[in-house]
Amino acid sequence: MFSFFKSKPAAAEPLEAQPEPAPLQVATPEPGIAEPVAPGSRGGWAQRLKQGLAKTRGLLGGQLSSLFGVGRKIDTELFDELETLLITADIGVDATQALLAALQKKVRREGLTEAPELHASLKQALIDLLLPLQAPLDVSSPRPYILMLAGVNGAGKTTTIGKLAKLYQSQGLSVLLAAGDTFRAAAREQLQVWGERNNVTVISQDKGDSAAVIFDAIAAARARNIDVVLADTAGRLPTQLHLMEEIKKVKRVIGKAIPGAPHEVLLVLDANTGQNAVAQVKAFDDALDVTGLALTKLDGTAKGGAIAAIAHSCSMRARPIPVRYIGVGEGLEDLRAFDAREFVEAIFTP
């Protein structure tokens, strides 16, 4: 059974004054309902990843095989066509130039002359570009581990929370959800559905603001020795400056509930936005000091190459931001830790 914590409306005092948690009505989840993920099913995940990246592979992988066909020589025209293809695949101008430079260097160093020789070289160059973003998230400590999610409207934050709850449960961790999206009418109900599917508790309020809800959730997590708190927030555009200030306040209040928290600020990006994701990373990082990225909806777009643009942009920053997770479907198990080599293989393998 699904359990729902419902707190009384927060007191009217300013949140910056560290409000006392509102009294909660606690309903204990019934045991034995949540089904664990099979953590060792890498083959199953590899197949789902390949299927999820089918549109990107169709645009990029298929055309690359044609471009690097047997009998074609390496020349300026080949590189011009490759440049066009990579930009079309939403890899971005800067990342494309970096990849082409790496290939041209290899051609000169090894004296390559045949186009097919570039296929494996491009794949390795892309892996090298993405590897710095590969940094799995360890949520085993401190306890409770506070993970705050942010992103634009419709990026998939709430769905990502549901999938993360399932993933962390498969690792033997207890999870609590904080319904911090108090703007969107159906957000709380959507999170309750995910809570029911995962058999985890949801903290929410009929009224009140995001910071108050998450503050209550953290208090409940500490009282019940919960391992991980997943805190939802309302979607917002970086241009909505008053809402960006509001989410900064949410982060400050979390830090007052537990010094040093949130331990992870996860920015959720919709892969369909392509190059716009780079601008989102910059804007949210400037406001929140983002510590990780989750790229969702890769199964619904041919713009999976945008991850290369994100990687190149992050490599230019003093503090690179890793891609923690990628999502390739609507199922509970369709979100996993990002693996650069696995990702590139899924694009290049027919």
pTM of the model: 0.84
Domains of the chain: 1-10+42-350 (3.40.50.300)
Percentage of the chain surpassing pLDDT 70? 87
pLDDT-based confidence at residue 6 (cuts at 50, 70, 90): very low
Count of CB atoms situated within 10 Å of the CB of 113: 10
Cross-strand bridge partners of residue 293: 267, 323
Say yes or no to pLDDT of 13 above 70. Answer: no
CA dist., res. 285 & res. 221, Å (int): 27
Average pLDDT estimate for 326-350: 88
- Cα 291 to chain centroid distance, Å, stands at 11
pLDDT value for 225: 96
* For residue 25, pLDDT beyond 50: no
CA 277, distance to chain mean position in Å, is 11
Under the banding of pLDDT at 50, 70 and 90, the label for residue 179 is very high
Beta-sheet strands, E only, within the chain: 3-7, 24-25, 145-150, 175-178, 201-205, 228-231, 264-270, 292-296, 323-327, 335-337
What is the per-residue pLDDT for 33? 35
Contacts of residue 154, Cβ cutoff 8 Å, sequence gap at least 6: 235, 270
pLDDT of residue 310 exceeding 80, the answer is: yes
